[in-house]
Amino acid sequence: MRGNGTGGGRGAVAGVRTPEIACDESGSDGENLVGGNTEVFAHASVALPLESAAECVREIRHRVRSPAEEYKANHLLREKHRAVLEWLLAPGGPVHGQAHVHLTHKAFLVVDRTVDLLLGDAADAVPLFRQGPGAFGPDGWREFLVAANGLLRVRTARVPGDDGEPFFRTVDALARARPETEAALILRRLGAARPRADDYLDRMRTAPALFPVLNPLFPAIRRTAAHWSAGGRTVTLVHDRQNALTPGRIARLVQAARGEGTGLGGLRLVASRDDARVQIADFLAGIARRIASDELAGRGDPDLTGALRPYVGEDSLWGDEHSWSRLVPAPPGPAPRDAR
């Protein structure tokens, strides 16, 4: 079933369709990245033919045998269905080599965007994120995250506290409490960038950005398109319906991707229940979010984390060093940061 969107998936040659990549997400809280329902946002994509995806859904239903009309990731994450989950992710399984997951650690996204906005460069985001909890304590660090989330969240009308004062008051208090730490030095630099914040808030009230800086969906889509179009091919993304994906935003996403050299032929929206490929992407996104969240919380299952590892994109936006080393083993160096 075709939905709203731009780009029907046709290539430069009339009548020739570009490869279609089906996508879905899990863990969306919009711009509420601190104190929302989840700590992780996962965007999954699969490059399965429709017939193969339909067969995979049928096999999952056969193995799970739930009376539910529509299956979700939670069905596969139940302990009694662990064998089905392992079969889905296993080497030689139905999606191996044909799927990709872009992960976003929401709290780190807040830090990354705040540092980038106020300092013009996000290089200090990683050290601030890793040292902040130890320097300021769990409560102080959470206070910073909440204040930063509030500063960057888009508003189209003036409301009490939207002048940035709560953020700068918090930054000043924390920096004074632990002045000898590197984290405090970074906070003092943020505190000195009030003019940048004022400019941002003025722009958001008069002409809000088409892509809110705190919504992880848009950079995830661009990274997904870049992954599947690597090597110079052009792809079309088929995405589950999502209110944030308005026709205007879809058109600009495609335009921006092409401007970056990404072969994104178009993006169209469908209802997941009408496209088995999107259902598989939905399964994978929910599974990845749960596994990554458990790893982040220090209660990861080594076998499931290992099963997910081949699917996780190395350009995911992740700040926690320990969990990242388990999700995607990489050469020594900072975890990936830039998902813009």
Angstrom CA distances, 135 to 184, 186, 226, 234, stand at 8, 12, 37, 47
Report d(CA 55, CA 43) in Å as an integer.
Answer: 22
What share of the chain in percent tops pLDDT 70?
Answer: 89
Per-residue pLDDT tens digits for 236-258: 999 999 999 999 999 999 999 99
Whether 21 and 47 have beta carbons less than 8 Å apart is answered as yes
Q: Can you count the helices (H) and strands (E) in the chain?
A: 13, 6
Whether 164 and 198 have beta carbons less than 8 Å apart is answered as yes
**Sequence letter at residue 269:** L
Angstrom CA distances, 331 to 127, 162, 266, 324, 335, stand at 18, 42, 34, 12, 10
Report d(CA 145, CA 39) in Å as an integer.
Answer: 13
Per-residue pLDDT tens digits for 195-219: 999 999 988 888 888 889 999 999 9
Pairing of strands 5-6, 264-270: antiparallel
Residue 158 confidence (pLDDT): 53
Q: Which residues contact 150 (CB under 8 A, 6 or more apart)?
A: 161, 166, 167
pLDDT along the chain (340 residues), means of 10: 39 60 94 90 97 96 83 88 96 96 98 97 96 97 96 68 86 95 97 95 85 94 96 95 94 94 96 94 97 96 96 96 87 47
Residue 25 confidence (pLDDT): 97
Nearest to 111 by CA among 187, 206, 21: 187
Residues in the chain: 340
**Sequence letter at residue 180:** E
SS3 of 210, please? coil
Report d(CA 29, CA 277) in Å as an integer.
Answer: 24
Angstrom CA distances, 291 to 42, 103, 242, 288, stand at 10, 11, 23, 5
Residue 156 confidence (pLDDT): 53
